[in-house]
Structure 1
Amino acid sequence: MRRQLCTLHAALELVPAPLFVVSDLDGTLLDRRERVSPHMREVVGRMAEQGTVFTLATGRPARWVLPVIEQLPVQPLCVCANGAVVYDSAKDEIVRAMELNSATLSTVIQRLTAGAEGTALHGAGFAVERAGTSAFDRADELFCVTEGYDHAWLSDEHKVLSTEDLIAQPAVKLLVRNENVSSQELFDAVAPRLDPREVHATFSWGGGLVEISAPGVSKRTSLEWIAERLGVQATETIAFGDMPNDLEMLGWAGTAVAMGNAHDDVKAAADLVTASNNDDGVAAVLARWF
């Protein structure tokens, strides 16, 4: 467990201005209305003026970061799909995609459906997210679900496929969904059936959704890839998050900040705990330097 510091302001006196700033979106940068605060927009603008790079890191696909980018004064590189995709919003280009192949998708679904009765996996549905090449690719070609899949969010931009067709093409993420259990309960049922050498499982929302990516894929892996190209070090990075899919990212960053509304495991892994997303916790930290 990382050292917990008594007060936010006292802790920040010990931290130099970062060269690389990374923020999760939902539950972190965005408030309950999915808005970026005016204060945060001002802070991002000042960061850009001073040469500090701002990057978004989210479980969302690229097309779902566009409403956020429209609220920002910069067009950043975005780590999407929990690290499986890097999207260059300035060029509208998917510049990196780490995929699960069809054989792996098939094996995982077989493991999760065999003997599922009496477990949190009973009645679970499956979906895949494909990378595409642009945030403006047709959503119904990228987000595909099995019959009866219970959507965690309103969606009219998806395609319903048989399991065979669902796994016929590579995907950057496999979603396991059971609305009758929590994400923690579902994860606890999923994880023992999977080999971490073959896939990586996590969750970013509490309502019965587990997200599976290629082995070793996390927000951290894509941030390391970006940082290498920027010529910045982990020690020069500050990262903000709220859910277990942020843990690898927070473990890598020189300064790890959990939101006041964060999952307990995230708070335990962080150097600092700031205010909640609805109280502009990210801006409260970054305003120390910018």
Structure 2
Amino acid sequence: MDKPRLVASDVDGTLLDPVERITDRIARVIERVQADDVPFVLVSGRPPRWIPRVARAAGLSGYAVCANGAAVYDIGADEVLTVREIPAITLIDVVNAVSAVLPEVRVAAERTVLGRAQPDPFAIEAGFRNPWGNPSGEVDEPDLAPRAEVLGRPATKLLLRHRGMTSQQMASAVESLLADTDLEITYSSNSGLIEVSAPGVTKASGLAWVCEVLGVPADKVVAFGDMPNDVPMVTWAGHGVAMANAHPDLLAVADEVTAPNSEDGVAQVLERWF
């Protein structure tokens, strides 16, 4: 493609190296992108509270699409600008249906609201184990609660965990159970955890909102990713790039495959233009 007018990148497994760092090479190319007045947008399954540390290391202060597209976060203002939620009654119906077939499932809920204050952003039931460690951020402990309380408020993302299954196995089982709904079901790790979002909520929908605000058409966007939750974004963008370490589902639809995140694959592509 011609020089892009916007760069969008997943975070974990894509922009970060295998030990979750922004390398010097990545930081330098991000600096050149921004110096050329091209926005660099983080697009992640992470909630807003997990973005600032990465943004500081990358030198970013613009937009971040969070929770697989359910929220858009203004990094510089530390403010959530958009939120798409799953109603509580839907959360309950989904978990009841899944638990009837997979009784070992444990649940958690991401909660994001408009504005700066984010009260009680993450609730889990006993037995839920997050593959990314402390799910509430850098220091806060999660809100441990009975299942009824976890599901009793709207959520931007429902997380279902089964320690005896892979994420792909879980997604296949849950997709068949929820075939009559329009909910979005995806995953961003292979650790037996799937992520459920409101109908139409994907990384592509969140990024499309940002691009509309900035006046950038989809065909002028280059997007990078590595997991199934990146498929909608990578196929929506004018040029979709999969990391060499990407899931087969993403490799199958990408316009290009770059080097793995251990070899600064994002930088290797962007250095063509910047």
Which of the five TM-score ranges fits, normalised by the shorter chain?
over 0.9
Amino acid at match of 2:57: Q
- Which TM-score applies when normalising by structure 2? 0.95
Larger Cα-atom Rg: 1
Question: Could you tell me which residue of structure 1 aligns to residue 256 of structure 2?
Answer: 272
**Mapped contact 2:259–2:265 kept (Cα < 8 A):** yes
CA distance in 1, matches of 2:59, 2:127: 40
Q: Cα 1:278–1:203, aligned 2, differ >3 Å: closer, same or farther? A: same
> Are 1:260 and 2:244 an aligned pair?
yes
* Map 1:47-196 → 2, pairs under 5 A: 47-114=33-100, 116=101, 121-133=102-114, 137=118, 141-155=120-134, 157-195=141-179
CA distance in 2, matches of 1:23, 1:56: 5
Question: Could you tell me which residue of structure 2 aligns to residue 11 of structure 1?
Answer: none
> Are 1:46 and 2:32 an aligned pair?
yes
CA distance in 2, matches of 1:196, 1:70: 42
CA distance in 2, matches of 1:123, 1:130: 23
**Mapped contact 1:83–1:222 kept (Cα < 8 A):** yes
Report the CA distance between 1:220 and its aligned residue: 0.4
Poorly superposed stretches of 4+, deviation over 4 Å: 133-136
Q: Which runs of 5+ in 2 are unaligned?
A: 135-139
CA distance in 1, matches of 2:197, 2:121: 15
Three-state SS of the structure 2 residue aligned to 1:103 is helix
Q: Which runs of 5+ in 1 are unaligned?
A: 1-14
Three-state SS of the structure 2 residue aligned to 1:269 is coil
Q: Cα 1:196–1:215, aligned 2, differ >3 Å: closer, same or farther? A: farther
Report the CA distance between 1:154 and its aligned residue: 2.2
> Are 1:214 and 2:214 an aligned pair?
no
**Mapped contact 1:275–1:281 kept (Cα < 8 A):** yes
CA distance in 2, matches of 1:26, 1:150: 18
Report the CA distance between 1:181 and its aligned residue: 1.2
CA distance in 2, matches of 1:152, 1:241: 19
**Mapped contact 1:242–1:261 kept (Cα < 8 A):** yes
Amino acid at match of 1:178: H
- Which TM-score applies when normalising by structure 1? 0.89
> Are 1:246 and 2:191 an aligned pair?
no
Report the CA distance between 1:103 and its aligned residue: 0.9
1:100-128: per-residue Cα shift (whole Å, max 9, x none)? 011111111111111x2xxxx34110000
Q: Percent sequence identity over matched residues?
A: 41
1:144-201: per-residue Cα shift (whole Å, max 9, x none)? 0112212323226211111211121110000000122110011111111114644111
1:246-275: per-residue Cα shift (whole Å, max 9, x none)? 000011000010001001111110010000
Q: Cα 1:73–1:151, aligned 2, differ >3 Å: closer, same or farther? A: closer
Question: Could you tell me which residue of structure 2 aligns to residue 19 of structure 1?
Answer: 5
Report the CA distance between 1:95 and its aligned residue: 0.2
CA distance in 2, matches of 1:275, 1:97: 34
